[in-house]
């Protein structure tokens, strides 16, 4: 099992062009090591109410593109969150495949001067947990505590032993082909919005891809 490539995201920092560039560089490194195994993002922190000062829509757009790339990465992605997790940290948390939280974790939709921030974290929260489960968090910034995050499907594991949990998760995906994980991920995403008839073709194509592979070959 290879050592997991790791990125640290501080949610107290706004999603500036530099933050987006750090995620893009992480994705570059992960793709350079494409194959089996997981990459890990460690997350904590939530921004102060004045966090949007100095941001513009160009920086936000660059940030969202970096998140989308992370979300489609040809590797399994593991988010490990502790303490308050908002802003950029929440964005990255929701974009990962496997999400681990500690008992003190709180998922926070960041606020600006007017209301909660209308970024794509809201979209991902609804996609993962359903509109009713996250309504108060999206509209009013109510924290989502770790046990609730587990119950509604935003977190996959709640633990006070992050090292052991991370080892178990990395072992879970060890040896699995990164490109194949990306294909399964996309099929999973599409299942929520695609009819059976439209989904059949991509599923058959994925099956055909596997059947054409030499035995034991990973992408």
The pTM score is 0.88
Going by the DSSP 8-state scheme, the letter that residue 166 receives in this structure is: H
Can you state the angle between helices 196-212 and 178-191, rounded to 10 degrees?
170
Three-state DSSP class for 55?
A: coil
- 123-153 pLDDT, tens digit per residue, is 999 999 999 999 999 999 999 999 999 999 9
Cα separation, 83 vs 47, in Å, equals 13
Q: Which residues of the chain have pLDDT under 50?
A: 1, 218-219
Going by the DSSP 8-state scheme, the letter that residue 3 receives in this structure is: P
């Amino acid at each position: 099992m290879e050592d997991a490539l790791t990125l640290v995201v501080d949610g107290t920092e706004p999603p500036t062009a530099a933050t987006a560039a750090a995620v893009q560089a992480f994705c570059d490194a992960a793709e350079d090591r494409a194959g089996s195994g997981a990459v890990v993002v460690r997350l904590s922190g939530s921004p102060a109410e004045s966090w949007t000062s100095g941001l513009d829509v160009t920086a936000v757009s660059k940030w969202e593109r970096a998140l989308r790339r992370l979300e489609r990465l040809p590797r399994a992605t593991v988010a490990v969150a502790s303490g308050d997790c908002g802003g950029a940290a929440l964005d990255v948390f929701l974009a990962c495949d496997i999400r681990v939280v500690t008992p003190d974790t709180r998922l926070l939709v960041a606020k600006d001067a007017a209301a909660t921030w209308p970024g794509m974290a809201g979209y991902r929260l609804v996609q993962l947990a359903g509109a009713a489960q996250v309504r108060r968090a999206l509209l009013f910034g109510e924290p989502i505590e770790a046990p609730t995050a587990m119950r509604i499907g935003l977190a996959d594991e709640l633990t006070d032993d992050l090292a052991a949990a991370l080892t178990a998760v990395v072992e879970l995906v060890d040896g699995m082909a990164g490109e194949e994980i990306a294909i399964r991920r996309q099929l999973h995403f599409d299942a929520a919005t695609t009819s059976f008839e439209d989904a059949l073709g991509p599923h058959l194509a994925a099956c055909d891809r596997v059947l054409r592979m030499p035995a034991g070959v990973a992408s």
